[in-house]
Structure 1
Amino acid sequence: MSRALLSLVQWLSPAFPTGAFAYSHGLEWAISEGEVSNAASAERWIGDILRFGAGRTDAILLAHALKGHDLDDLADLARALAPSAERLRETEEQGAAFAATTSALTGRNLPPRPLPVAVGQAAAPLGLAVPEVLALTLHAFAANLVSAAVRFVPLGQTEGQAILAALHPLVEEIAREAAVAPLDAIGSAALRGDLAAMRHETQEVRIFKT
């Protein structure tokens, strides 16, 4: 395994201080409403977010950041694509934390940007294959949502890992497609997920930021 790949795995691990554990991407609302109540419904919900929502959208943004697209333009697009205040907060806060820590580790001056753009600006010099970077980033995103489901549905640890394993083929598929997709292929159809994020903003009892 290359040192570059090890660096990326470190940056995407739960131990990296982006605070990802505090964000549920609207999943907390779906659980509180009973829309996600077991392993099967959690897998469907997370799979739809990957396929039709921020998973695919962020993967395309990340691919273009890795390929040298103007990062400020991509950051503006990432902000514009956020469907709610909490989702904007999620990508900006995690992106800022990611940039700050990778700057400290690499000695580079990486400004705060939305998370997929921040990952792209840090990972571009690693020289890794674009689909590989996308797959690992999508996997980290899915793993964080699975962790939220394990804690709040709740699910057993083995059930959670089974969900994540079942999502591997989808992660690979999205990574392959997003690696070659043009920017104008970006589009979201995860409407229930977007509504969940909006309704979470006024949820009275909650443990996650989003």
Structure 2
Amino acid sequence: MNATSLLQLMWLASPALPIGGFSYSEGLEAAVDTARVATESEASEWLLDQLDLSLTRSDLAVLAQSIPAWQCGDTARISQLNAWVLQTRESNELRAQTEQMGRSLLEWLRNHTTATAGQIELLANLQPTYPLAFALAASATQAPLRDCLLAYAFGWAENMVQAAIKSVPLGQSAGQRILQALAAQIPCAVDHALALPDDARQAFSPMLAILSAQHEVQYSRLFRS
């Protein structure tokens, strides 16, 4: 991978990208509120499980299939995958998150030269989701597919560790240890996602969905999900 591709991926994975990822905990705050997560080890275990049981089998698997679809202009496949993401968000909060981040990344793309006007218009007409918007941005970097998934997963991990630091709460050193544990597992998660066929892709995390729904009416909260 050349330097330009690497820098573009780092940019997309950065928590500083103005798409609002920092404002979501993806159910973690509800887990803290119900005393399921109260320590560093519990937060680490929670996020490792979420990586393995949720992100790998859904968003990363979608990315593995949608980046090539963008690169070859397969509009039917792009529409199918975007619809799957929308249909498998199991709470209002989780759906609102992928829609808001998808729209924000699409607006970011409008101000850059990494996507064509036709690609942006296509996604805008599909009620864009974040994985499909990220796939469009990543497809233009010409980086290897595996590296694109690694960047997405690490960006997710950084945001979730920051959510854990704020909500549990934890110190920065604890957060770095959790991030280290996630980083060690991300390559295996990416390889698994790359190997998943359509009929093995899934977004079935019942307790996460229940906690997300409970978070929608939680009395006091820091995050939007």
Do they fold alike, i.e. is TM over 0.5?
yes
Partner residue, 2:175: 160
Matched, 1:209 2:216: no
1:58-91 per-position Cα deviation (integer Å, ceiling 9, x unaligned): 0011111111152111110100110111100011
* Root mean square deviation of aligned Cα: 1.4
Matched, 1:59 2:67: no
Deviation at 1:169, TM superposition (A): 2.5
Which AA in structure 2 matches 1:171? I
Q: Describe how 1:1-210 pairs up with structure 2 within 5 A.
A: 2-68=3-69, 70-106=77-113, 108-109=116-117, 110=120, 111-112=123-124, 113-210=128-225
Q: Write the distance in 2 (CA, Å) between the matches of 1:161 and 1:102.
A: 31
- 5+ residue gaps, structure 2: none
Deviation at 1:161, TM superposition (A): 0.8
Distance 1:142 1:154, change over 3 A: same
Q: Relative to structure 2, which stretch is displaced further, 78-87 or 100-109? A: 100-109
Contact 2:56–2:193 under 8 Å retained in 1: no
Aligned positions, number: 210
Q: Relative to structure 2, which stretch is displaced further, 96-105 or 74-83? A: 96-105
Q: Write the distance in 1 (CA, Å) between the matches of 2:25 and 2:56.
A: 13
Deviation at 1:191, TM superposition (A): 2.2
- 5+ residue gaps, structure 1: none
Deviation at 1:100, TM superposition (A): 1.1
Distance 1:209 1:155, change over 3 A: same
Q: Write the distance in 2 (CA, Å) between the matches of 1:177 and 1:63.
A: 10
- What SS does the aligned partner of 2:140 have? helix
Contact 1:55–1:141 under 8 Å retained in 2: no
Q: Write the distance in 1 (CA, Å) between the matches of 2:175 and 2:210.
A: 24
Q: Write the distance in 2 (CA, Å) between the matches of 1:97 and 1:114.
A: 10
Which AA in structure 2 matches 1:48? D
Q: Write the distance in 1 (CA, Å) between the matches of 2:55 and 2:182.
A: 15
TM-score (norm 2): 0.88
Contact 1:71–1:121 under 8 Å retained in 2: no
Q: Write the distance in 1 (CA, Å) between the matches of 2:6 and 2:109.
A: 14
TM-score (norm 1): 0.94
Moved over 4 A (4+): none
Q: Write the distance in 1 (CA, Å) between the matches of 2:198 and 2:133.
A: 17
Which AA in structure 2 matches 1:90? Q
Q: Write the distance in 2 (CA, Å) between the matches of 1:28 and 1:55.
A: 21
Deviation at 1:9, TM superposition (A): 1.0
